[in-house]
A and B are shown apart, each in its own frame.
Chain A
Amino acid sequence: MPVAIDLTVGPNPFFWEAAAVRTFYQDLAASPVSQVVLGEVVCSKRLPFWQDEIAQATDALLLAGKAVAISTLALVTLKRERKATAALAEIGLPVEVNDLTALHSLPKGQAFWVGPLINVYNEGTLRWLVSRGATRVCLPPELPLDSIAVLARLGRELGVAVEVWGHGRLPLAISGRCYHARLHDRAKDNCQFVCGLDPDGREVDTVDSQKFLVVNGVQTLSQSTASMAYQTEALHEAGVTSLRLSPQSDNFIGICSAYAERIAGRITAADLAALLIPHVPGGRLSDGFVRGDFGAHWSGAPATVTESIRHDL
């Protein structure tokens, strides 16, 4: 049986005030998570407002025994963004690559992590990234359990940690256009940081009032919060090493503890789901992707690996 699953906290996709960021990481240092990824993923314009928190947060997390990495942006276009991406390699932390731009400047032989926004769909890609220095790979949230099982098995062979999106609004798309600014009839260059008004993103419903999506600056997320509450045993059996929990504004530390309880087998999937629903923004969960269904679906039931895939593992 593979070793027990541990928890990774992904970079905060939202724009919070520096004081909120400070408290968040101070509290996280005392939580039962093993890895934490810091950094700005969505919009380089936000970073000056909170980047001074990163050093202090890193120190506190390292002191508490967490492994810490620093993430790239999801979409690097501007010259200053390219420079900032290259500079991440010199901080002394592993870089979590969420745009392959980082591999242009990352010295060969320097270990790095691969984030969920890199397209790792198959063995060839995983193999290539590991040969280039990847030591931890968070798979794209879109992958079904069959793909996860094949890649986790290869990850074990290659000696690389394979992570799966465990909790959080799903990062569905990234754009050059800022939808948050557009909703306020502003252009991206004159956004006045309106994304900061919505600490979990701004909801975008259908005209029939169905809950659907959330915009967060140039990023589009799911309105539902993806949760692997019912999938922890299946993912463990498949050889997944870590679950990634993506920050949200309400009771995140409690959520980390609840997942730790679930992984340790001290609470059931239904217990965990009941704990989560009052705290996730918008109050809805989903786990469709891992079951090979549409992403917004909430099954409340474990996924299974297709027999032919299981046979080959």
Chain B
Amino acid sequence: MMELVCPAGTPAALRAAVEAGAQTIYCGFADETNARNFPGLNFDRDEMAAGVAFAHARGSKVLVAINTFPHAGAEAIWHRAIADAETAGADAVILADIGLLAHAAENHPGLRRHLSVQAAAANPDVINFYAEAFGVKRVVLPRVLTVAEIAAINREIDVETEVFVFGGLCVMAEGRCSLSSYATGKSPNMNGVCSPASHVVYAEESGGLTARLGGFTIHRTAKGQPAPYPTLCKGCFTSPSKTGSDQTGHVFEDPASLDATQLIPALAHAGVTALKIEGRQRSRAYVAEVVRSFRAALEAHAAGRPMPEAALAKLSEGQAATTGAYAKTWR
């Protein structure tokens, strides 16, 4: 059976995910060292050690994401996070920065290293580079690849692959996007946040609700319509055209979230080791429900039964789901 890698933003979510059948949990410390650095989220050092002990006692693993890019002059904060993850008993650290990978390989050789999606390693050559240079054992693939491309990658590499199957969908190559900081000054790479709530303002205007990020209008929804969170790349914009046919719409991506449940058999066939669920910012009830659903789907696949239909539709943002880049037509 493929490994299910589940998010935990809090110790309670970690316990809920383990109890719902997650083989592996990923989480981060409560600071800028991880890419879900949201207020009230993540683990202090004692919580991490307790969480790892809880998971290990039930046969589950814990991966610690230290996947932002250390600030010049402040690398010690990130180095300490790696040392503390090892002390807490983490089964692996998830890293993106070259300097941090080199540091971990040299100073913590016994700690397994996974390559974060924030490194956007999108082909066999670059994956083999990370494996050879830094001893990376698993790579989380960026959400820009088709299933066929994933299968081709797995034929040319020796390390494991992990792919996203559910939750928020980045349409840009991760770790290489400064859209959020262009509008707000806060970026995924440097601050572990994207389109942060601290910079969102809602206004009742002309019969609808306008959502702005750093003063830039991301979308306007009519009264009574569900208003999705104003993530920059899911916004509604207008592109003026020289030929007069202006285009208004979701220029980058619709406010849909990823659901690749139906692709589980194809991803297994493509040689994928682990399936990842996005959402460390989600509630423990959400995490438990998604984990149960995917665990059931994986068991169905292992038993040769068909995939369950749309069990998670109500958990998707804006009620719409997409298989994203896994289908070539998405491009």
Contacts and interface: CB of A to CB of B under 8 A. Distances in A.
Interface of A: 74-77, 79, 81-82, 85-86, 99-101, 103-105, 117, 119, 121-129, 140-143, 146-148, 150-151, 170, 172-179, 182-183, 187-189, 197, 202-210, 212-213, 215, 220, 222, 288-289, 292-296, 309, 312
Contacts of B216: 206, 210, 212, 296
Interface stretch (B21-29, B36-44, B124-132, B274-282): B124-132
Interface in B183-227: 183-185, 187, 189-190, 210, 214-220
A206 B237 contact: yes
Nearest to B124: A82
Contact of B126 (A101, A143, A178): A101
Nearest to B126: A101
Contacts of B217: 206-208, 210
Given A76-B122, A207-B219, A207-B220, A175 B240 contact: no
A25 to B, nearest CB: 26
Nearest to B237: A204
A63 B121 CA distance: 38
Given A101-B123, A142-B190, A210-B216, A122 B75 contact: yes
B72 interface: yes
B110 interface: no
Contact of B182 (A140, A151, A170): A170
A309 B74 CA distance: 10
Contacts of A104: 125-126, 128-129
Contacts of A103: 126, 129, 133
Pick from B69, B149, B220, B253 the residue with the most CB of A within 10 Å.
B69
Pick from B171, B178, B179, B184 the residue with the most CB of A within 10 Å.
B178
A295 B185 contact: yes
B129 A101 contact: yes
Interface of B: 69-75, 96-100, 102-103, 120-126, 128-130, 133, 144-145, 149, 152, 171-173, 175-179, 181-185, 187, 189-190, 210, 214-220, 233, 235-242, 247-248, 251-253, 325, 328-331
Contact of B179 (A74, A121, A173, A197): A173
Pick from A141, A208, A222 the residue with the most CB of B within 10 Å.
A208
Contacts, number: 219
A188 B215 CA distance: 32
Nearest to B330: A177
B169 to A, nearest CB: 11
A75 B182 contact: no
A215 B251 contact: yes
A82 B251 CA distance: 29
A204 B237 CA distance: 6
Contacts of A292: 185
B173 A147 contact: no
Given A122-B99, A174-B172, A208-B217, 15 more contacts: A101-B123, A101-B126, A119-B96, A119-B189, A124-B97, A124-B103, A128-B98, A142-B189, A173-B173, A177-B253, A288-B182, A289-B181, A295-B182, A295-B183, A295-B185
